[in-house]
A = this chain, B = another copy of it.
């Protein structure tokens, strides 16, 4: 089933990736923007990865975000709550030539589906995970999610939520994800760039996308999406560039002697003291430290945290199959049945 011949990929337009279904999100929902950016970059992704549209599959769980596959004119599977990574596992291992995407929400991925996410990442299954984080349960109408802030008042926590929020990217790094990034629904350029890089990555790629739910959690990401404040509140990560931010690029994030992060004015330190961002670090210590930076004490890092080459799960599986075939030439079925504790009854 493996496609070995070079494919003749048609030249796609954005429209080729829009299905005939009308999106059913609330007017103003951040999901629209994400859909639009994704459709916009798909032609380039198809071309660069030489993946025809029919080899693209979007698998989702349940949630507003998980309706996503219906709007993509590719193969799509709207599965059950939290389990999209498990379907992706079965699909991708049996069909490594496909480009499998998982679309999920903060509840879907981190509450009911947290374990599958963790195991998907540690396996380095070749799958691109788009986690729409709106810090709320949209579809079930406004309960707190695992990324809701401590003290968040929602329908199910009228006096405030009592659990500390999970940090999706810290969990992803601890799970050894090989590609880790963050984007924002309202920043189309960043979104396009990050999604494209995720698509080009071979292995588990997770992109946390801050997504505004204007019905149940409006403005949750205003600090990073409002034009006037966003440059001061975000730290754009770029490989090989220093960790500098601010509208005037006048602030930097550095680590002190105890390796604790702090913000300093660039004017106060010498250029050589700046931390240079490196997405290819094997050891995840520093990248993890970056993922821990929290607004308002720190700017919110966005962009690509990590992009590391490593064999994928399905590669390892199929290498084993091939190696086994080489070492032990394929047993014919008859031979297999005839083995074991046998004896012959003569005529």
CB within 8 Å of B: which residues of A? Answer: 111-115, 118-119, 122-124, 146, 159-160, 162-167, 170-171, 173-176, 255, 257-261, 275, 278, 281, 283-286, 288-289, 292, 313, 316-317, 320, 323-324
**CB–CB B166/A259 < 8 A:** no
Cβ of B288 and Cβ of A162 under 8 Å apart?
no
List, in ascending order, chain B residues with CB within 8 A of A284's CB. Answer: 292
Q: Give the complex CA separation of A1 and B278 in angstroms.
A: 55
Closest chain B CB from A173 CB (angstroms): 7
A193 to chain B, nearest CB (A): 25
So how many copies of this chain end up in the complex?
Answer: 2
Contacts of A324 in B (CB 8 A): 159
Task: Tell me the bound Cα distance from A166 to B313 in angstroms.
Answer: 14
* B159 near A313: Cβ-Cβ < 8 Å: no
Decide: A323 and B159 in contact? CB cutoff 8 A.
Answer: yes
CB–CB A285/B289 < 8 A: yes
Q: Contact check, A176 vs B159: say whether CB atoms are below 8 A apart.
A: no
Tell me the nearest residue of chain B to A318, going by C-beta.
B162
Find A283's partner among B122, B146, B260 (CB 8 Å cutoff).
Answer: B260
Judge whether B123 and A114 touch: CB under 8 Å.
no
Name 17 A/B residue pairs within 8 A (Cβ), A-sorted. Answer: A114-B115, A118-B166, A122-B163, A122-B165, A160-B320, A162-B320, A163-B313, A167-B174, A171-B175, A258-B286, A259-B259, A260-B283, A260-B285, A260-B286, A283-B292, A285-B288, A286-B289
Of the residues B146, B163, B317, contact of A162 by C-beta under 8 Å: B317
User: By the criterion CB–CB under 8 Å, are B292 and A162 in contact?
Assistant: no
Give complex CA distance A142, B311 in Å.
26
Residues of B within 8 A of A320 (CB): 159-160, 162
Which B residues touch A171, using CB under 8 A?
118, 171, 174-175
Query: Closest approach, in angstroms, between the C-beta of A279 and any C-beta of chain B?
Result: 13
Q: Which residues in B have their C-beta under 8 angstroms from that of A283?
A: 259-261, 289, 292
The interface residues of chain B lying within 8 Å CB-to-CB of A146 are 119, 122
Cβ contacts under 8 Å, A164 to chain B: 122-124, 176
Q: How far is the CB of A324 from the nearest CB of chain B, in Å?
A: 6
CB distance from A252 to the nearest CB of B (A): 13
Question: Are B261's CB and A285's CB within 8 A?
Answer: yes
Q: Knowing that A113-B115, A258-B286 are A-B contacts, what are 9 other residue pairs whose CB atoms are under 8 Å apart, sorted by A's residue number?
A: A159-B323, A162-B317, A255-B259, A259-B259, A259-B285, A259-B289, A260-B286, A261-B283, A285-B285
